[in-house]
Amino acid sequence: MVTKMWILLLFAQVYSLCSLRQNCVQPPYDCQTPFSVNPPSPPFMENFTAPYACPMFLGQEVCCSQDQNEAMNYKFFLLDETFGHSVGGCDICAANLKNLWCHFTCHPLQSQYVKTGEQKYVPSPVEPTQLVLALLTNFTVTNSLSCEIYQSCQKCPYVTEVSAMQSPQGFLEFQGYEGIPIGLVWTTFYFSDGPDALDLQFLPCSANVTNAYGYQVQPCSCNNCLNQCQANYLVAAPSTLEGIDWIIVGIVYLVVLVFTMTLFFSKYAWLKWRKNKSRREEGNSNGIYQDLALSNLYYE
Ligand SMILES: *[C@@H]1O[C@H](CO)[C@@H](O)[C@H](O)[C@H]1NC(C)=O
Ligand SMILES: *[C@@H]1O[C@H](CO)[C@@H](O)[C@H](O)[C@H]1NC(C)=O
Ligand SMILES: *[C@@H]1O[C@H](CO)[C@@H](O)[C@H](O)[C@H]1NC(C)=O
């Protein structure tokens, strides 16, 4: 019994570890570049003085400190101002992104899917001539996670305007790159369905809710959520159809339709001709001219 518990404890220690930390100085939001925790350290209980940026981790051991909580409150304000209803976007998309970054920063199993490397000077996405000291991280998520979060965000104004964000992978890569000026972290996303990938189920943007993971949200509409548009329903479902040339698809369908109809009518004409032929062979010689005219009509 004791051995079992000890093994369980050991297991928990091996898998529940934090891989990055960030310190900020007062006034808030003046944060230093996050650094790798090497070797990874256990998660901890933290009582935040500011509101919890990640209500889904309330009362749990986490990997995010008081400083990181305050920094996230600020970053999440920016997410709302970029993806939320105040700019014509969808609050559920913004809530899904917060949920994802909360798992990146606070989840007690952080070291399993967030691999931290060195700090490096990289060009800022905002001002490429300016170099920013950022922590390089690899974040592994499942393919279904990337599809779900992309589907909830793909009709937000900011997302539709940027061509790099037109696929689940592109969308997340872009979020990781945007983290350079905001979080001083350059996150490269990796997609895998293995055990080291974070898997989360997200609310679809069509969900009729006012609370998502503890965040206040307004329901989204067809203006910012593809799932809410009745007419687009069939086109919207598989995201792999994105980018298909619909004119070519239309022409192919038309060709197939004409071909099918031609086959159908020529078979009909041929059957009729054969029937008349046998009738003619029985002595009726009028039919063939009529049927030749008929089949010419359908071939034209
Ligand atoms: C947080 O609060 C709980 C209960 O009030 C307390 O037991 C714990 O020691 C506190 N943790 C810290 C880091 O202050
Ligand atoms: C991230 O992944 C790349 C490619 O596998 C690897 O070269 C790099 O060392 C990784 N970085 C970290 C911090 O693990
Ligand atoms: C959304 O939920 C509210 C309250 O639960 C309900 O009154 C409203 O009719 C629902 N809207 C839709 C579009 O289903």
At 216, is the pLDDT very low, low, confident or very high (cuts 50, 70, 90)?
very high
Distance, in Å, from the CA atom of 292 to the CA atom of 80, rounded to the nearest integer, reads: 72
* Tens-place pLDDT, residues 56-86: 999 999 999 999 999 999 999 999 999 999 9
d(CA 101, CA 148): 15
Q: What's the pTM?
A: 0.74
The mean per-residue pLDDT over the stretch 131-150 comes to 96
Q: How far is the CA of 154 from the centre of ligand 3 (A)?
A: 23
Our answer on whether the CB atom of 47 is closer than 6 Å to any ligand 1 atom is yes
Q: How confident is the model at residue 300 (pLDDT cuts 50, 70, 90)?
A: very low
Phi, psi of 285 (to 5 degrees): -105, 10
CA distance 208 to 185: 34
CA of 114 to the centre of ligand 2 (A): 11
- 116 CB near ligand 2 (under 6 Å): yes
Least confident of 92-101, 222-231, 252-261: 252-261
Distance 155 CA to ligand 1 centre (A): 42
- Higher-scoring residue by pLDDT: 213, 1: 213
C-beta 136 within 6 A of ligand 2? yes
